[in-house]
Amino acid sequence: LNPWDRALYLSVINERPFFSRVNWREPYRGLTQTLAQRSISSGIYFPLEDICSRTTGSHALGGQAAGVLVGVALNPLSLIKYQIWKEDEVRRSFASTAQKLLRDAGPLVFLRGVISTAIRDGTFGLCFSLRRYVQVHGAGENGAAVYNFGAAVTCAALGTTL
């Protein structure tokens, strides 16, 4: 999804059509950051969802809390990735981009966009946690594994599009 995400980002910030050729130059710029961030996100979401669900006593609230926590924790990585996606002629590494942001705007720059990120990821966490209400136990019996997979995909799609 990196080329599509990057093209959408560039079309919005530069106010030009999505399919403009310029948006599709270097479509995999920042791919390493995207893969790392998604790996970390997936790796910490599920343990956090379990902890938050036990703490709140609710799968829905636990999923929502886990989504918010993951979004807030990874927000600085997103900010750096978007800076790397810019159309600068200068190629910067992740570390040098982070240092430049810190030097130019101070540590609070890494909170830029955190409210909308928390709302988005909290919504995803809530919707994705609903899979626990619709999935069935005994996944090896009577096609339940296929049903559970479909339920998880549907809940993730719902959370992603809201």
Instruction: Round the average pLDDT of the chain to a whole number and report it.
Output: 89
Return the DSSP state at 91. -
Look up residue 82 and give its two tokens.
């978007």
Angle between helices 144-161 and 114-129 (to 10 degrees): 160
For residues 126-131, average pLDDT: 88
User: The whole model's pTM is what?
Assistant: 0.80
With a cut of 60, say whether residue 136 has pLDDT above it: yes
Residue 85: name the closest of 160, 8, 136, 10 by CA.
10
pLDDT at 51: 97
Percent of the chain whose predicted confidence (pLDDT) is above 70: 94
Reported as a pLDDT band with limits 50, 70 and 90, residue 131 is confident
